[in-house]
Amino acid sequence: MASKKLSERKIREIEEAARHWGKLLAREAFPEGPDLSLTLADMEEVAMRAARALVGSAVETAAGEQAASFGEAADCPTCGRSVPLERRSREVTIRGGTANLEEPIGHCSTCRRDFFPSA
Ligand SMILES: [Zn+2]
């Protein structure tokens, strides 16, 4: 698997897609148009909750794909024996709120240690 960060161009494409999703979100939230009693703060609150959900889902999806790339077994870093990997769920705080990550963890019964496989 290639190891690289996103280019500025790709990030701008994603920002443009997110602007489009914002329009879809506004239409989903207010299908008949926002009531005149709604304030900008009300609109912002809806958008912020959706943004937090989007950030959490994006981080969970990307991290989940990383975790899956480790496969079903890994070598113990101490003795080198191949051991099966389990997945453990862990809630982490991210800038958009929280994300539930499924992390691979190995347990070597010979060395009596748990370890996280590294890339
Ligand atoms: Zn070991």
Q: Reduced to 3 states, what is the DSSP secondary structure of residue 56?
A: helix
pTM score above 0.85: no
**Ligand 1 centre distance from Cα of residue 63 (Å):** 26
Mean pLDDT of the chain: 93
Tens digit of each residue's pLDDT, the chain (119 residues): 455 799 999 999 999 999 999 999 999 999 999 999 999 999 999 999 999 999 999 999 999 999 999 999 999 999 999 999 999 999 999 987 899 999 999 999 999 999 999 76
Residue type, 63: A
Q: Reduced to 3 states, what is the DSSP secondary structure of residue 31?
A: coil
Angstrom distances, CA of residue 60 to CA of 43, 50, 108: 26, 15, 27
Residue 44, token pair as written in the block: 């912002």
**Ligand 1 centre distance from Cα of residue 76 (Å):** 5
Phi, psi of 63 (to 5 degrees): -65, -35
**Ligand 1 centre distance from Cα of residue 38 (Å):** 61
